[in-house]
A and B are shown apart, each in its own frame.
Chain A
Amino acid sequence: MRQVRTFHLAALLALAGALPAVAQPATRGGSNSVNIQFQRMTLPNGLEVILAPDHTIPQVAVNVWYHVGSKNESAGRTGFAHMFEHVMFTGSGHVPYGMHDRLTEGVGGTNNGSTTNDRTNYYEVVPSNYLESALWLESDRMGFLLDKLDDAKFRAQRDIVQNERRQGVDNQPYGRAFELLDYGIYPSTHRYSWPVVGYMTDLQAATVDDVKNFFRLYYAPSNATIAIVGDFDPARAKSMVTKYFGDLKGGTRIARPAITMPALAAEKRMVFEDRVQIPRLYLSWPSVGEDQSDTHAIQFLAQILAGPRTARLTKALVYDRQSAAAVGAFDNTNENAGNFIVQITPRPNHTLGELEATADSIIARLKDTGPTAEEMKKTQAGLEFAFVSQLQSNLGKSNILNSGLVFHGDAGNFRKEYAQLKAVTAADVKRVANKYLGAGRVVLSIVPLGKPELASHADRSARVTVAADGGHYIMGNTQ
């Protein structure tokens, strides 16, 4: 038998066979322990800093979260938060266009940004010797973005955002489904009712001054957190953060919108014609935000209904009756509100109406008897694995830490969240199923062009069409 040992530069230094000390983070434990060791620092301007060294690989993730998302926009002025995500990569006071990519991807790292209803983030993952560059880049756009922002830059990014929408929504079969579900479940003035990408008519109408005001309010250090995770020395990182962010001005106090999840008094049925051959059914119930403790039991509910093969809907529809090609369930959880979504794709010769009725009877049974002890154990095992698994990535950890700090005021919230997940009982799942999966819901049928009769209960479903601006929706009458 052949035995091969491939050499390892660092290991060679430390003595063959032994792993170098730097490859042993403090999180090692004999059991399946879940932990991230981190330190905190707050600058006088309000910037919150989280530092979590992990020397597994010689890279470091720098991740800045701004507590602003599309919910901070107003009707008629949508899409700003996401537009910023794009504008933030076009250069700033001391950083010319292109330098950001040059000092991240161009040296072996990556960068990106993302925008949700509730927050916007920017990250760099770089070789560890480029930590200071990453902090320089982030501090410059936090402090000096507006020095270089002009109308031409804004318009150029607006074109790209329109392409993003074309690619992700307009040119995808079923691509409008989630916009339609939000449109159906929220009143038109609700802050979660408009798409994160915004309405193009709003973006066209935006002025550079609108944009600048938005930036000044929300992109201040006092509305930001920064997590640094990976191969670095905390004392040195702290001094670098102070150096680059210390002299930026804190912002004014931000009035957080009070957002609640509106109940739906009755079922709302919609049908939308799309360029698809196979219809699809979506059910959506108002649920809760990440700020409510029921969110954990709702995660269990999604798994028990439409997780793996033996989940209730999966087994009944895909395996036993074979009336569906696929089912899925998940909670679309925002910070302050959410909706629980079930999605079903039929097999030929099975109607959306039949699938809805079967799904409803299965959900009713779960509401009646609650999950079994075995279902609870299986779901817990999956969640435990998922939790530990995400600790492998520096970027993943930086998001967990930021999320805790921004949404729960505690970077260590993951420990509490993990404990809460493990504490969810069958009674909790039964209770949330009954509390949230009630009569008030949205039922959306997406059907092939010209075939509205394929909708579930077509006679009671309102036809929804796209407005002339290509973004807004128009609710028609029932047929």
Chain B
Amino acid sequence: MTLRTLKTPATLALALALAVAAPAASSAQGKLDRATAPTPGSSPAMRVPTWTRTKLANGAELIVVEKHDLPLVAFNLDFVGGAPSFEPADKLGTAQFTGQMLSEGTKTRTADELSDAQQMLGTTIAASVGSEGGNVRFTALKDKFVPALDLLADMMLNSTFPDSALERLRGRALVALAQQRDQPNAIAANVFSRVVYGDAHPYGRVTNEKTVKAITRDDVLAFHRAYFKPGRAVITVSGDVDPKAVRAAVERAFAAWPAGGERPSFAYGPLPAPVARTIYLVDKPKAAQSVFAFGTPGPARNTPDYYALSVMNHLLGGLFQSRLNHDIREVKGFSYGVRSSFAFGHGPGAFQAGGGIVSAKTDSALMGFMTHFKGVQGEMPFTDDEVKQGKESLIQSLPSRFATVNNIAASVSAIYTQDLPETFYQDYASRINAVTKDDLVRVAKKYIDTDHMALVIVGDRATIEDKLKATGIAPITILDVDGKH
């Protein structure tokens, strides 16, 4: 059986033609032919929302996207730049504590009052700072938007950062860190960061007991002063709102927020010298599965190879029927699911592949992964149908990015926080469609460096080490759960 696939309209003319066309119904009379897949109608026209973009007096950008079908509003205050650009390397966790402490009381409200006020509004104001960006955000019913916004502004501008709260947060963080050392996926992620990027690179630093214990209230105050600045802020409001009213409310809520701050350069230091392919084995006695985290540093989001990499990775380990998942899970039955991804940050975010593998098949699965890395580099060329599927899947899933007020806010703000072209979504289909089969092989060879790949495996050493050795794929280095020798 074959399947007809379609082209996605990339031009306005085609969209015009499709705008009034309903999906083609099958009106066949008589006995139903079940053996033939229904013929799909034309692809629906791509609908990207419109938005307004202005600048507040203090320099923060304000984007408003209207969506009026439900009485909901998403408010995102995004900051460009993350923890590594602002927190000392020996005090990792400062950014996280600062975000959490915005909920610990302001000049006029106790922490309990802040919490009660949010609950009365049916919302939660959350703050977090990641490795390259941070945000303070909430989603609320439209009639609660203005009071929630005022509350958020109070938390961000007037927090008091009490010492007692820092000690409580530290105590809870230490418990969470201890629990992470029991969690094989968390162990794999931490060890992967350390071996791929090393201690000197921001991507290789992992918050631990020592850094958490070193943080003082002064560190938190300093981070707060340095980080939450309008010069690196993008405010995105999406939902059942009027842009003028939003602007007035935001101007008023942030009237006392002084100008200042700029986007960090994201000029990370050099990567460590490449190391020959190595298996880093972390012992997890009697583990039912071995957790794989394989990879290397990858390209930044602004690489011209972004589209080719997106298609290639989708086919290698993105789709359910990707080569990795199809073979390792569906054909061989070694796993509940494996995948691969590129982090695509401002710096050399990782290419990573992995998943949980039944312990007894750890060696076979490792060989399977290596086969597929080589396969996409040309040993097992992509078929026309694979490529067609990869492209159509990426292009036609775009509407999901505009399904909810939160999806819309995230999708639109990404344009400005990641410096994408403003027509990124409109151009997406044509950029993806322009990728050739040769491009896929080229980027697979360029970015999946199997000669220098870190192969982190967290599993039961007693049953897997000898078999891993016997594969001859790479020498084995034993590490502890913190990635140390």
Contacts and interface: CB of A to CB of B under 8 A. Distances in A.
A38 interface: no
Given A6-B423, A94-B35, A388 B141 contact: yes
A8 B172 contact: no
Given A7-B426, A163-B335, A348-B175, A107 B396 contact: yes
A205 B467 CA distance: 31
A276 interface: yes
B135 to A, nearest CB: 19
Contact of A57 (B176, B289, B400): B400
A418 interface: no
A322 B72 contact: no
A247 interface: yes
Interface string B344-388: 000000000000101000000000000000000000000000000
B329 A160 contact: yes
A109 B392 CA distance: 10
Interface in B205-249: none
B392 A108 contact: yes
- Interface size grouping (class) on chain B: 35 or more
A428 interface: no
A145 B143 CA distance: 50
Contacts of B115: 308-310
B172 A326 contact: yes
Interface residues of A, number: 111
A453 interface: no
A212 interface: no
B333 A105 contact: no
B168 A322 contact: yes
Contacts of A102: 3, 321, 389
B358 A173 contact: no
Interface in B34-93: 34-35, 37-38, 40-55, 66-72
Given A105-B320, A377-B120, A345 B336 contact: no
Given A101-B321, A132-B38, A56 B333 contact: no
Interface in A358-381: 374, 377-379, 381
B185 to A, nearest CB: 9
A132 B25 contact: yes
B430 interface: no
B175 A345 contact: yes
Interface string A114-128: 000000000001011
A169 to B, nearest CB: 9
B393 A2 contact: no
A5 B68 contact: no
A54 to B, nearest CB: 8
B166 to A, nearest CB: 12
Given A1-B54, A108-B394, A156-B333, A129 B43 contact: yes
Interface stretch (A235-243, A261-269, A329-337): A235-243
A32 interface: yes
A129 B7 CA distance: 12
Interface in A43-92: 54, 56-59
B319 interface: yes
Given A308-B118, A325-B176, A392-B70, A93 B399 contact: no
B397 A8 contact: no
Contacts of B389: 102, 106-107
B48 A132 contact: no
Given A127-B43, A140-B34, A384 B122 contact: yes
B336 A164 contact: yes
A27 to B, nearest CB: 6
Nearest to B40: A129
Contact of B396 (A6, A127, A159, A315): A127
B436 interface: no
B40 A130 contact: yes
B440 to A, nearest CB: 17
Nearest to A143: B34
Contacts of B72: 388-389, 392
A372 to B, nearest CB: 11
B54 A3 contact: yes
B276 to A, nearest CB: 30
A277 interface: yes
Given A129-B43, A385-B140, A171 B184 contact: yes
B116 A166 contact: no
B400 A389 contact: no
B182 A173 contact: yes
B124 interface: yes
Interface in A242-299: 243-244, 247, 275-278
Q: Sorted from nearest, which 3 A-B pairs have the closest CB atoms?
A: A108-B396, A58-B44, A159-B333
Interface of B: 1, 3, 5-6, 12, 15-16, 19, 22-26, 32, 34-35, 37-38, 40-55, 66-72, 103, 111-112, 115-116, 118-124, 139-144, 168, 171-172, 174-176, 178-179, 181-184, 285-289, 291, 319-321, 329-330, 333-337, 356, 358, 389, 392-400, 402-405, 422-423, 426
20 contacts: A6-B423, A13-B16, A13-B19, A28-B68, A57-B402, A58-B47, A59-B400, A94-B35, A129-B23, A139-B34, A167-B336, A232-B23, A240-B26, A243-B26, A275-B286, A277-B178, A308-B118, A326-B172, A348-B174, A392-B72
Given A128-B44, A325-B172, 6 more contacts: A19-B68, A102-B3, A102-B321, A130-B40, A278-B182, A392-B403
